[in-house]
Amino acid sequence: MNRVDLSVSIGNLHLSNPIMPASGTFGYGQEYAGLIDLNDLGAIVSKAVSPLPRPGNHPPRMVELKGALLNSIGLQNPGIDGFIEKKVPFLQEFSPPVVVNVVGNDLQEYLQVVEALDPVQRVNGFEINLSCPNVQKGLEFGTTVEGVAHITRELRAVTQKDLWMKLTPTVPNPGELGKAAEGEGADALVAINTIGGMTIDAEARRPVLGAKFGGVSGPAIKAVALKYVWLLYEAVSIPIVGVGGIFNGTDAIEFVLAGATAIQVGTANFVNPTAMPDVLHEIEAWLEQHGESNLRDLIGQAHRTQGVATPIQNH
Protein backbone atom coordinates (compact mmCIF):
# COMPACT_ATOMS: atom_id res chain seq x y z
CA MET A 1 0.00 0.00 0.00
CA ASN A 2 2.49 2.63 -1.18
CA ARG A 3 0.65 4.43 -3.96
CA VAL A 4 -0.81 7.00 -1.59
CA ASP A 5 0.47 8.33 1.71
CA LEU A 6 -1.81 7.08 4.50
CA SER A 7 0.47 7.95 7.40
CA VAL A 8 -0.72 10.23 10.21
CA SER A 9 0.72 11.53 13.45
CA ILE A 10 -1.04 11.74 16.81
CA GLY A 11 0.92 13.31 19.63
CA ASN A 12 4.27 11.53 19.74
CA LEU A 13 3.03 8.57 17.74
CA HIS A 14 3.60 8.10 14.03
CA LEU A 15 1.06 5.75 12.47
CA SER A 16 1.59 4.14 9.09
CA ASN A 17 -2.16 4.48 8.48
CA PRO A 18 -5.22 5.80 10.35
CA ILE A 19 -6.91 2.47 11.12
CA MET A 20 -7.18 1.00 14.61
CA PRO A 21 -9.73 -1.02 16.59
CA ALA A 22 -12.20 0.56 18.96
CA SER A 23 -11.52 -0.58 22.50
CA GLY A 24 -13.64 -3.50 23.58
CA THR A 25 -14.24 -4.83 20.08
CA PHE A 26 -10.83 -6.36 19.48
CA GLY A 27 -9.83 -7.83 22.82
CA TYR A 28 -6.08 -7.42 23.19
CA GLY A 29 -5.31 -8.43 19.61
CA GLN A 30 -4.92 -12.14 20.31
CA GLU A 31 -8.49 -12.88 19.32
CA TYR A 32 -7.98 -11.57 15.77
CA ALA A 33 -4.32 -12.40 15.16
CA GLY A 34 -5.21 -15.55 13.25
CA LEU A 35 -7.58 -13.64 10.98
CA ILE A 36 -5.68 -10.47 10.06
CA ASP A 37 -2.08 -9.25 10.16
CA LEU A 38 -1.93 -6.92 13.15
CA ASN A 39 1.08 -5.22 11.56
CA ASP A 40 -1.27 -3.79 8.94
CA LEU A 41 -2.95 -1.61 11.58
CA GLY A 42 -1.98 1.95 12.31
CA ALA A 43 -2.25 1.28 16.05
CA ILE A 44 -3.58 -1.34 18.42
CA VAL A 45 -6.05 -0.09 21.03
CA SER A 46 -6.52 -2.57 23.85
CA LYS A 47 -9.60 -3.57 25.73
CA ALA A 48 -9.99 -1.78 29.05
CA VAL A 49 -7.52 -2.27 31.88
CA SER A 50 -8.46 -1.54 35.51
CA PRO A 51 -6.28 -1.95 38.61
CA LEU A 52 -7.77 -5.33 39.56
CA PRO A 53 -9.43 -7.99 37.39
CA ARG A 54 -13.10 -7.42 36.66
CA PRO A 55 -15.50 -10.29 35.86
CA GLY A 56 -17.92 -8.09 33.94
CA ASN A 57 -21.69 -8.02 34.01
CA HIS A 58 -24.12 -10.90 34.22
CA PRO A 59 -25.32 -12.28 30.87
CA PRO A 60 -26.92 -11.71 28.52
CA ARG A 61 -24.33 -9.10 27.57
CA MET A 62 -25.02 -8.41 23.91
CA VAL A 63 -28.03 -8.15 21.67
CA GLU A 64 -28.35 -7.18 18.01
CA LEU A 65 -30.69 -4.31 17.17
CA LYS A 66 -31.74 -2.83 13.84
CA GLY A 67 -28.61 -1.19 12.52
CA ALA A 68 -26.87 -1.39 15.87
CA LEU A 69 -25.42 -3.51 18.63
CA LEU A 70 -26.33 -3.18 22.30
CA ASN A 71 -23.71 -4.42 24.75
CA SER A 72 -23.14 -4.44 28.46
CA ILE A 73 -19.88 -6.34 28.92
CA GLY A 74 -19.07 -4.48 32.12
CA LEU A 75 -15.40 -3.73 31.37
CA GLN A 76 -14.30 -7.32 31.95
CA ASN A 77 -10.50 -7.41 32.02
CA PRO A 78 -7.53 -9.16 33.68
CA GLY A 79 -6.33 -6.12 35.65
CA ILE A 80 -2.86 -4.56 35.59
CA ASP A 81 -0.91 -7.67 36.54
CA GLY A 82 -2.83 -9.90 34.16
CA PHE A 83 -2.33 -7.45 31.31
CA ILE A 84 1.42 -7.23 31.90
CA GLU A 85 1.83 -10.99 32.35
CA LYS A 86 -0.50 -12.33 29.66
CA LYS A 87 -1.05 -9.59 27.07
CA VAL A 88 2.16 -7.55 26.81
CA PRO A 89 4.36 -10.49 25.69
CA PHE A 90 1.96 -11.14 22.83
CA LEU A 91 1.81 -7.48 21.81
CA GLN A 92 5.61 -7.33 21.64
CA GLU A 93 5.45 -9.49 18.53
CA PHE A 94 3.92 -6.66 16.50
CA SER A 95 5.08 -3.25 15.36
CA PRO A 96 2.10 -0.83 15.58
CA PRO A 97 1.94 1.47 18.61
CA VAL A 98 -0.12 0.09 21.51
CA VAL A 99 -2.60 2.39 23.23
CA VAL A 100 -4.12 0.99 26.44
CA ASN A 101 -7.70 1.87 27.32
CA VAL A 102 -7.84 2.83 31.00
CA VAL A 103 -10.83 2.63 33.36
CA GLY A 104 -11.32 3.07 37.07
CA ASN A 105 -13.86 3.62 39.81
CA ASP A 106 -12.23 6.87 40.92
CA LEU A 107 -9.30 9.11 40.08
CA GLN A 108 -6.86 7.07 42.13
CA GLU A 109 -7.64 3.96 40.10
CA TYR A 110 -7.01 5.77 36.83
CA LEU A 111 -3.71 7.01 38.23
CA GLN A 112 -2.83 3.53 39.47
CA VAL A 113 -3.23 2.00 36.01
CA VAL A 114 -1.29 4.72 34.19
CA GLU A 115 1.54 4.78 36.75
CA ALA A 116 1.86 0.99 36.66
CA LEU A 117 1.90 0.76 32.85
CA ASP A 118 3.95 3.88 32.15
CA PRO A 119 7.29 2.02 32.54
CA VAL A 120 6.14 -0.79 30.21
CA GLN A 121 8.03 -0.16 27.00
CA ARG A 122 5.45 -1.81 24.77
CA VAL A 123 2.75 0.59 25.99
CA ASN A 124 2.97 3.73 23.85
CA GLY A 125 -0.03 5.64 25.12
CA PHE A 126 -3.25 5.64 27.09
CA GLU A 127 -6.86 6.06 26.00
CA ILE A 128 -8.69 7.38 29.06
CA ASN A 129 -12.29 6.20 29.18
CA LEU A 130 -14.27 9.18 30.48
CA SER A 131 -17.57 7.97 29.12
CA CYS A 132 -18.71 6.11 32.22
CA PRO A 133 -19.80 8.73 34.81
CA ASN A 134 -17.16 8.53 37.49
CA VAL A 135 -18.23 10.20 40.71
CA GLN A 136 -15.91 11.09 43.56
CA LYS A 137 -16.87 13.92 45.91
CA GLY A 138 -19.53 15.00 43.44
CA LEU A 139 -17.12 15.20 40.53
CA GLU A 140 -18.31 13.61 37.28
CA PHE A 141 -15.15 13.27 35.25
CA GLY A 142 -16.76 12.67 31.89
CA THR A 143 -19.59 15.19 31.77
CA THR A 144 -18.20 18.44 33.17
CA VAL A 145 -15.49 20.78 31.99
CA GLU A 146 -14.00 20.81 35.48
CA GLY A 147 -14.01 17.02 35.66
CA VAL A 148 -12.32 16.51 32.29
CA ALA A 149 -9.73 19.18 33.07
CA HIS A 150 -9.01 17.68 36.51
CA ILE A 151 -8.43 14.10 35.45
CA THR A 152 -6.41 15.15 32.39
CA ARG A 153 -4.18 17.35 34.54
CA GLU A 154 -3.64 14.62 37.14
CA LEU A 155 -2.79 11.98 34.54
CA ARG A 156 -0.54 14.31 32.59
CA ALA A 157 1.54 14.74 35.73
CA VAL A 158 2.36 11.01 35.94
CA THR A 159 3.17 10.17 32.30
CA GLN A 160 4.82 11.69 29.26
CA LYS A 161 3.31 9.05 27.01
CA ASP A 162 0.36 9.92 24.81
CA LEU A 163 -2.93 10.71 26.54
CA TRP A 164 -6.05 10.25 24.44
CA MET A 165 -9.20 11.37 26.23
CA LYS A 166 -12.26 9.37 25.13
CA LEU A 167 -15.24 11.67 25.47
CA THR A 168 -18.86 10.96 26.28
CA PRO A 169 -21.55 11.50 23.62
CA THR A 170 -24.08 12.65 26.20
CA VAL A 171 -23.18 16.35 26.41
CA PRO A 172 -24.61 19.06 24.11
CA ASN A 173 -21.31 20.86 23.55
CA PRO A 174 -18.35 18.48 23.29
CA GLY A 175 -16.10 21.34 22.22
CA GLU A 176 -15.98 22.65 25.77
CA LEU A 177 -14.84 19.27 27.08
CA GLY A 178 -12.32 18.96 24.27
CA LYS A 179 -10.81 22.36 25.03
CA ALA A 180 -10.58 21.45 28.71
CA ALA A 181 -8.64 18.27 27.88
CA GLU A 182 -6.41 20.08 25.39
CA GLY A 183 -5.67 22.82 27.89
CA GLU A 184 -4.41 20.29 30.44
CA GLY A 185 -2.08 18.47 28.07
CA ALA A 186 -4.12 15.82 26.25
CA ASP A 187 -2.49 14.66 23.02
CA ALA A 188 -5.73 13.64 21.28
CA LEU A 189 -9.46 13.22 21.70
CA VAL A 190 -11.47 10.12 20.87
CA ALA A 191 -15.11 10.58 19.87
CA ILE A 192 -17.43 8.93 20.49
CA ASN A 193 -18.08 6.12 22.91
CA THR A 194 -21.31 4.14 22.84
CA ILE A 195 -24.65 5.79 23.57
CA GLY A 196 -26.64 4.48 26.52
CA GLY A 197 -29.68 2.38 25.68
CA MET A 198 -31.74 -0.69 26.46
CA THR A 199 -34.13 -3.16 24.92
CA ILE A 200 -37.03 -5.14 26.41
CA ASP A 201 -38.30 -8.63 25.64
CA ALA A 202 -42.01 -8.00 25.20
CA GLU A 203 -42.94 -11.66 25.66
CA ALA A 204 -40.88 -12.09 28.83
CA ARG A 205 -41.78 -8.54 29.89
CA ARG A 206 -38.29 -7.77 31.16
CA PRO A 207 -35.05 -6.16 29.93
CA VAL A 208 -32.98 -8.39 27.66
CA LEU A 209 -29.58 -7.47 29.07
CA GLY A 210 -28.56 -8.86 32.42
CA ALA A 211 -27.48 -5.37 33.49
CA LYS A 212 -30.66 -3.81 32.02
CA PHE A 213 -28.79 -0.99 30.27
CA GLY A 214 -25.95 -1.05 27.77
CA GLY A 215 -24.12 0.88 25.09
CA VAL A 216 -25.45 1.30 21.55
CA SER A 217 -22.87 1.12 18.76
CA GLY A 218 -22.80 0.52 15.03
CA PRO A 219 -24.24 2.34 11.99
CA ALA A 220 -27.14 3.77 14.02
CA ILE A 221 -24.79 6.15 15.86
CA LYS A 222 -22.62 7.22 12.91
CA ALA A 223 -24.45 10.52 12.36
CA VAL A 224 -24.07 11.42 16.04
CA ALA A 225 -20.36 10.57 16.00
CA LEU A 226 -19.76 12.65 12.87
CA LYS A 227 -21.41 15.67 14.48
CA TYR A 228 -19.23 15.35 17.57
CA VAL A 229 -16.05 15.05 15.51
CA TRP A 230 -17.12 18.12 13.50
CA LEU A 231 -17.75 20.17 16.64
CA LEU A 232 -14.49 19.09 18.25
CA TYR A 233 -12.49 19.98 15.15
CA GLU A 234 -13.89 23.50 15.32
CA ALA A 235 -12.94 23.79 19.00
CA VAL A 236 -9.48 22.22 19.35
CA SER A 237 -6.16 21.96 17.56
CA ILE A 238 -5.09 18.51 18.80
CA PRO A 239 -5.89 15.42 16.70
CA ILE A 240 -9.26 13.70 16.89
CA VAL A 241 -9.79 9.95 16.57
CA GLY A 242 -13.24 9.34 15.14
CA VAL A 243 -15.28 6.28 16.05
CA GLY A 244 -18.90 5.25 15.64
CA GLY A 245 -20.54 3.20 12.90
CA ILE A 246 -17.56 2.98 10.53
CA PHE A 247 -18.13 -0.03 8.30
CA ASN A 248 -16.39 0.87 5.04
CA GLY A 249 -13.86 3.19 3.46
CA THR A 250 -16.39 5.88 2.60
CA ASP A 251 -17.52 6.01 6.24
CA ALA A 252 -13.90 6.53 7.24
CA ILE A 253 -13.37 9.27 4.64
CA GLU A 254 -16.44 11.10 5.98
CA PHE A 255 -14.89 11.15 9.45
CA VAL A 256 -11.60 12.46 8.07
CA LEU A 257 -13.40 15.19 6.14
CA ALA A 258 -15.23 16.12 9.35
CA GLY A 259 -11.91 16.52 11.14
CA ALA A 260 -10.66 13.12 12.30
CA THR A 261 -6.96 12.38 11.93
CA ALA A 262 -7.52 8.66 12.50
CA ILE A 263 -10.48 6.35 12.92
CA GLN A 264 -11.42 3.35 15.02
CA VAL A 265 -13.42 0.41 13.72
CA GLY A 266 -15.60 -1.26 16.33
CA THR A 267 -18.87 -3.09 15.74
CA ALA A 268 -17.87 -3.89 12.17
CA ASN A 269 -15.24 -6.29 13.55
CA PHE A 270 -18.03 -8.49 14.91
CA VAL A 271 -19.77 -8.58 11.53
CA ASN A 272 -16.62 -8.97 9.45
CA PRO A 273 -13.37 -10.03 11.15
CA THR A 274 -11.35 -8.50 8.29
CA ALA A 275 -13.21 -5.18 8.51
CA MET A 276 -10.14 -3.11 9.41
CA PRO A 277 -7.87 -4.17 6.52
CA ASP A 278 -10.90 -3.97 4.23
CA VAL A 279 -11.61 -0.38 5.31
CA LEU A 280 -7.94 0.48 4.86
CA HIS A 281 -7.90 -0.83 1.29
CA GLU A 282 -11.13 1.02 0.54
CA ILE A 283 -9.65 4.28 1.85
CA GLU A 284 -6.67 3.85 -0.45
CA ALA A 285 -8.94 3.07 -3.39
CA TRP A 286 -11.07 6.16 -2.66
CA LEU A 287 -7.99 8.39 -2.57
CA GLU A 288 -6.71 6.99 -5.86
CA GLN A 289 -10.11 7.33 -7.50
CA HIS A 290 -10.32 10.97 -6.46
CA GLY A 291 -6.77 11.86 -7.43
CA GLU A 292 -5.57 12.33 -3.85
CA SER A 293 -2.05 11.30 -2.88
CA ASN A 294 -2.05 12.19 0.83
CA LEU A 295 -4.77 11.38 3.36
CA ARG A 296 -3.66 14.21 5.64
CA ASP A 297 -4.78 16.76 3.05
CA LEU A 298 -8.39 15.65 3.63
CA ILE A 299 -8.47 16.19 7.40
CA GLY A 300 -11.23 18.72 8.09
CA GLN A 301 -11.63 19.54 4.41
CA ALA A 302 -15.44 19.58 4.64
CA HIS A 303 -15.13 22.64 6.89
CA ARG A 304 -13.39 24.50 4.07
CA THR A 305 -15.61 23.39 1.21
CA GLN A 306 -18.11 25.96 0.00
CA GLY A 307 -21.64 25.08 -0.99
CA VAL A 308 -23.98 22.30 0.03
CA ALA A 309 -23.77 18.74 -1.20
CA THR A 310 -26.71 17.38 -3.17
CA PRO A 311 -28.74 14.99 -0.99
CA ILE A 312 -28.77 11.38 -2.09
CA GLN A 313 -32.13 10.48 -3.58
CA ASN A 314 -33.68 7.13 -2.78
CA HIS A 315 -35.54 5.48 -5.61
Residues identified as active-site: 132
Q: What is the DSSP string of the chain?
A: --SSB--EEETTEEESSSEEEPTTSSTTSTTTTTTS-GGGSS-EEPPPB-SS-B--PPSP-EEEETTEEEE-----B-HHHHIIIIIHHHHTT--S-EEEEE--SSHHHHHHHHHHHTT-TT--EEEEE--S--EETTEETTTSHHHHHHHHHHHHTT--SEEEEE--S-SS-HHHHHHHHHHTT-SEEEE--PEEE--EETTTTEESSTTS-EEEESGGGHHHHHHHHHHHHHH-SS-EEEESS--SHHHHHHHHHHT-SEEEE-THHHH-TTHHHHHHHHHHHHHHHTT--BGGGGTTHHHH--S-PPPPPP-
